[in-house]
Chain A
Amino acid sequence: MNSDWNKDRKIKFTIQDPCQIVRKGEGDVVADDLRFVIQSVVGKENVIEMTPNKSNNYCCGGGGGFLQSGYPEERKAYGKIKFDQIVATGADYCITGCHNCHAQVHDIGHHFEGSYGTVHVWTLICLSLGILGPNERAYLGDDLKDVDVFHPETSMF
């Protein structure tokens, strides 16, 4: 696993620490493990951190049932802090480690008209390994849709 694919592209990533795994779970140790993996996959120089982060990270607003609670406007207002944090990094993508975060970070990006993409860690690991097929790229933008495509002939698009 390496970050050669991104050596010249220099596509930038930021990391949303999931409250559940980091602050409420294993703490900064697991946040550092997450960074070890992400830096290996996209290149250390291409990771731009949010402030604050790790155990002190702001919740994105996707947790606690907020996504289903019937208060969408309030949920988006809650997520504005996260949106501003992501945009301030200038990153092309926000990597989310949990399903709720993925849904919320994706939604606030759309709602506040941000230009960043929201991507799962597993997608990037497979991309760097050269085993990410054309139909496994739903959350990748045009800048990554065509990078090292595994079995491009199987594309459904």
Chain B
Amino acid sequence: MSESTIKIKGKKQNFFLDKVKEILPDEGNLNLCLTCGACASGCPATGLEDMDPRKFLRMCAMGMDEEAVKSPWVWMCTMCQRCIYVCPMKINIPQLIYNARAEWPREDRPKGIRDSCDMALRNDSNSAMGTAPDDFIFVVEDVLEEYKESQPEFKDMVTPIDKPGAFFFLNQNSREPVTEPDEMVPLWKILHLAGVDWTYGSKGWAAENYCLFLADDECWEKVTRVSANQADELGCKVFLNTE
């Protein structure tokens, strides 16, 4: 039944854990592990790649940086934070995972996530599908006109884009305007009936942010700022992320 013993090669060699501790509030409590295993027992990623949250943290604590950080498991943990929720010491394992992802050379990180991030950097939409602002505006206006005509009870419905001073700045996952535009309509109707003052942005309308998942700090900040700046410039009060 027992797994082979983890062998530490002499003295602690590297300092990945220490590096992450320096950038987290309260050092992420990364030194407080009681090894109880509450994290691992309730983690859906436990067992994938022969890894689990406790094992990952213990390996980092023992300086097995190479083995831990390079495990593909860092891309299978969704950073859902259930491990923190159940941990008696509130250890921030997900941030350890995030920073492990960042240790990978950018070109070695998963292509799907990297491509989605790069698409978002192509224009001001932030869309992982690369959809340009004009295409988004066209789809929204086209679908709105169609529904106003076919469902005349909603002839006064609006889908503002860049409305100055709107209370809510709303964004939308790219998949809806691009592949299933009818799915946008129920939300519009609810907002209309509730008399909500909202707007999309021509810039930063896409809700997804794969640069964040890529652990590319510079790019995810850039993408996030496009959205935040647009909401600020319009004078919106609340940012509503539908993602």
Contact = CB atoms under 8 A, between A and B. Distances in A.
A99 B180 contact: no
A20 B212 CA distance: 14
Given A19-B82, A56-B85, A59-B80, A126 B186 contact: yes
Interface in B80-117: 80-82, 85-86, 110-113, 115-116
A83 to B, nearest CB: 11
Interface string A116-157: 000010110110010111011010000000000011001000
Contacts of B81: 19, 23-24
Contacts of A120: 183, 186
Closest 9 CB pairs of A and B: A65-B213, A59-B80, A64-B78, A68-B112, A63-B78, A122-B186, A99-B173, A126-B186, A19-B80
A99 B175 contact: yes
Interface of A: 19-20, 23-24, 55-59, 61-66, 68-71, 74-75, 77-82, 98-100, 103, 120, 122-123, 125-126, 129, 131-133, 135-136, 138, 150-151, 154
B5 interface: no
B174 to A, nearest CB: 10
Interface in B106-146: 110-113, 115-116, 128
Contact of A71 (B75, B79, B86, B151): B75
B180 A138 contact: yes
A64 B85 contact: no
A66 B78 contact: yes
B42 A138 contact: no
B75 A61 contact: no
Nearest to B76: A74
Contacts of A78: 44-45, 48, 76, 78
Interface string B32-58: 000000000010110111000000000
B44 A58 contact: yes
Contact of A122 (B86, B151, B190): B190
7 contacts: A68-B213, A70-B110, A71-B110, A77-B48, A100-B243, A122-B187, A126-B186
A99 B207 contact: yes
B85 A23 contact: yes
A122 B85 CA distance: 29
Given A126-B189, A138-B183, A150-B151, A63 B80 contact: yes
A133 B190 CA distance: 13
Among the interface residues B45, B77, B80, B208, which one has the most CB atoms of the partner chain A within 10 A? B80
Contact of B76 (A20, A71, A98): A71
Nearest to B207: A99
A126 to B, nearest CB: 4
